[in-house]
Every structure is written in C-alpha cells, then in structure tokens.
A and B are shown apart, each in its own frame.
Chain A
Amino acid sequence: MTQDDLYLRAVAEFGPALARLARAYEADADQRCDLLQDIHFALWRSFATFAGQCSLRTWIYRVSHNIAISGRLRRRKLRLVSLEELAGTPAPDDPENAVGNARALARLEILIRRLTPPDDQVMLLYLEDVDAASIAEITGLSSGAVATRIHRIKALLSRQFRQGDSR
C-alpha cells in the first residue's frame, strides 16, 4: 500500500476516533481544528516509513497521542494532575444531571484535560474501547500498570457519574 492509501485507510477507519481525541485534548474550537490537522499531517508523513512494525491501529494511536502530547507541551495552561490526585476531586453536587449525555461528555473532557500523560491517554483509549494489551503497546506502560490505571479510571468515573453499572 502506498503512503496515500494507508492514510486514506486510516482516516476511513479512525477518523472519528481522531476527532474525538482532538476534542478531548483541546477545548478551544480553533486550537482543536489545528490539533486535528497536525495529527492528520503527521499521520500522512509517518506512513512514508510504515512497514508493518506494529498494527495499523497501534501506529495511528501512537502518532496521534504523541502529536497531542507535543501540542500540550507547547500550550500548557492548566496544572495537570495524576489519577491519584484527581480521585480526590469532589463528585458533582447533582450526579443525576451529570449523567445527561451532553453534561457527561463535557465532564469527561474536563477530566481528561486535567490528567497528566499517560493517565489521560489510558483514559481516552479506555473510552475508545481499546483492550488493555493494546493500551500497553501504545502507551509503553506495563500490562500491570495499565490494569491498575483502568481500575482507578473505573473508580473515578463511577464516583464522578454515580452510575450503577461499574463493569
């Protein structure tokens, strides 16, 4: 497959996931658009050297997360915290309302933007339904560290959204 073919396949399969990633990282619409374009551009350039070193999905998530991290390093405004620190954040006063879809999304984005790497990445990949082994491959964390983080993320989300289902 050529560089263009790989890019088109990536966009067809993961375009919406990349848009969600940009949305999670950037609250401002213009910066979000810039970040998304940066990710697409980096992906297209990266496919010039793709030779099946890993799965296409792992490659795409690595590139996109690494570009998002670089953007965050350049435009850091908020103090980032780890999952352990965020666990101490009070749950919303109105948990029932917080479960409404738009509010839930807004709250999720706030949580992700406050998290420091790689906790934010694990949370994003978890929400994208990526399995723990792939999260480990993408982030470079050990399987055990990923499992611990997913456990903490579930506890955090459960506390923040007070949902009965904690599978």
Chain B
Amino acid sequence: MNDLKTVWKTQPLEENTMISLSDIRARAGRFQARIRWRNIALYAYSLANIAISFWLIASGRLSAFKYPMLLMVAAHLLVLWQINRRIATRPLPGDVAAQPALDFYRQELGRQADNLSRAWLWYIAPFIPPYVWELAIWLDRIQTHAIPNADYRLFLFSIIGAVSFWTAVWLAFSRASVRLQLQIERLNVLKAE
C-alpha cells in the first residue's frame, strides 16, 4: 500500500501547474469584472422590461392591461431582488476554509436544495397573478368583441403553453431538490458516525 502512496506522490505532473501572483491578480481583476458585467446585464434586462412596460402604459397602447403590467413590473423587481439576495448569500472565501469539507459540501447541497425547492415561490409565483389578470382581461375583450377578429385558439394556446412551461420548470426543480435531499441525508448519517 505504501508503494501505491509512493507512486501517487511521485507521479509526473504536467507543466504549468504553478501559478504566479501576477496571474492570480489578473484573474482577480477578471473575476471582479465578470461579476460587475453580470450585475449590469441582470439590471439591464429587468430595466428594459420595466421601461417597455411603462412606455406601453404611457403611450396608451394596451391601456386595458395597465394594472396587470404594473404588477408584472413589481414581479420583475421582486425576482431581481431575490436573485441578488441569493447571490449575496453564496459562501465567501473565508467560509470555504473555515468549514470542514463535509460541512461545506452539506451546506452547498442544502443551499442548492433550498433554492430549488423554493424556486416556485420566488421565481414562478410572482409572475402568476399579473399573468392571470392579463388572461382575464384578454378573455373579456374576446367575449365583448373588443379585439377585432379575435378567436379563442390563440388564447387557449397561450394558456397551455404557459402552464406546460411552468409545470416543466417546477417538476425539474422538484426532482433535482429531492435528489439533493437524499445526498444530504447520506451526509447526515456520515456526520453522526
């Protein structure tokens, strides 16, 4: 067995396994820039959505949808805040070293499982009320012939598409969460040994 340890410790290593301080500093700069651009992109996406919504409301287009659109803007802001909050709670470098590997692994799995199991609450649910509201207005406008040549097929297709999409997202999140929970339980057993 000691032979195996010797083989392991004397294995030939690839070149370029040493990284200089200047490489590290350059990487730190790229890391900060990536975070900055990711945050900018996140804000830009939501602000663009919000700006378009406000423009549609102010210009009088889709005026019947004014209030659900305002609610959709609020949903965007809520999701944006949640994403930022969850990104902010990721372990800092100090935490990476402060915890033994088993605890760190369990915490990482727990964090992912928690985010996945609650995703419907913070990622899906905020968009449901404005969406349902918009559907109700749309249906009313079809029934009262406020939309010329409107038919129910597009309306139904929109509902089936949205329900299928959000159900698939929810199922995928739930399945992944259950798998992670099983791993956490296994680690809990190990920790108790």
Contacts and interface: CB of A to CB of B under 8 A. Distances in A.
A154 interface: yes
Contacts, number: 149
B104 A167 contact: no
Interface string A99-111: 0010011001000
A22 B18 CA distance: 12
Interface string A66-81: 1101100100000000
A113 interface: no
A7 B18 CA distance: 12
Main secondary structure of the interface of A (DSSP, over half): helix
A127 B24 contact: no
B9 interface: yes
A28 B17 CA distance: 15
A96 interface: no
A163 B104 contact: no
Which 7 pairs from chain A and chain B are nearest by CB? A140-B100, A140-B102, A49-B94, A19-B17, A45-B93, A145-B193, A46-B93
Interface of A: 4, 7-8, 11, 15-16, 18-20, 22-23, 29, 32-33, 36-37, 40-42, 44-46, 48-50, 53, 59, 62-63, 65-67, 69-70, 73, 82, 101, 104-105, 108, 116-118, 121, 126-129, 137-142, 144-145, 148, 154, 157-158, 161, 163, 165-167
